[in-house]
Amino acid sequence: MRTLVFIIILAFVCNFTIAQNKDELMGFADVSDSSEWVRKGEVILKKEVFEAFDKMSADAAKEGVMLRIIVGYRTFKTQKITWDYKWNESNRSHLSKKERVLNIMNYFAMPSTSRHHWGTDIDLNSTKLAYYETDYGKKIYSWLCKNAHKYGFYQPYTAGRSKGYKEEKWHWSYYPIASTYEQQFLSLVTNSDITGFSGSEMTEEIDVINNWVRLK
């Protein structure tokens, strides 16, 4: 009897946790919990991620590499505003729905599927390709390639991947948490859960989860 009660309680707790995680993974996290989240100016991140970034940027600065977060946590709502703006841009108006989705998703995630929803991922310094062609941009990127892993960060969207986003030299992910979130996302969220914005009816056809969220 005691075992049965324990199993029922455990099932209830697990269910509760899973439901919370699913929302959190899809851009509906409650960031007001200061034991888990930190806000500095416009940037919000998981506390542990901010601490790791602060260490990394302090060490980088000693070598003349100034790291600045330009994007941290993003809500579903924020992602949707930018998505809809891109959807309606005139240079995409001649494209079919599917072409439009694929074109936006060269560099920008569908609402619900962005790693920025997790509070574990950051865009650094500039999201312009030309920046990384300048001497200073090259210096920043080469410092990150050599050192970011020491602080837990890695570049998820590298060059030469056969699916998903194009290379993003600015996007860095905090592996200790993000790797778990990625696995949780893959097991909890389905393509049909991703909805509520222009073009969301394409999620199944392009298999957004396996081709964009799943890194390997």
Residue showing tokens 């210096």: 139
Minimum distance from residue 118 beta carbon to Zn ion (Å): 11
CB-wise, 87 or 118, nearer to Zn ion?
118
Binding mask 167-206 for Zn ion (x = CB under 5 A): ----x-----------------------------------
The residue with its CB nearest to Zn ion is 171
CB-wise, 24 or 123, nearer to Zn ion?
123
Minimum distance from residue 94 beta carbon to Zn ion (Å): 27
CB-wise, 80 or 171, nearer to Zn ion?
171
CB 88 within 8 A of CB 43: no
Q: What is the CA radius of gyration of the chain?
A: 19
Mapped onto helix, strand or coil, the DSSP state of residue 34 is coil
Angle at 33 between CA 31 and CA 37, to 5 degrees: 60
Minimum distance from residue 122 beta carbon to Zn ion (Å): 7
Q: Binding to Zn ion by residue 24, rule CB under 5 A?
A: no
Q: Residue 123: beta bridge partners?
A: 71, 171
Considering only residues 111 to 130 of the shown chain, the ones binding Zn ion according to CB under 5 A are: 123
Minimum distance from residue 51 beta carbon to Zn ion (Å): 20
Cα distances (Å, whole numbers) of residue 166 to 75, 146, 195, 201: 22, 21, 23, 23
CB-wise, 123 or 182, nearer to Zn ion?
123
Minimum distance from residue 52 beta carbon to Zn ion (Å): 17
The DSSP secondary structure of 149-188, one letter per residue, reads GGGTEE-SS-TT-SSSS---TTEEEEHHHHHHHHHHHHHH
Considering only residues 135 to 174 of the shown chain, the ones binding Zn ion according to CB under 5 A are: 171
- Extract the tokens encoding 48: 């542990």
Q: Which residues of this protein are in contact with Zn ion, per CB under 5 A?
A: 123, 171
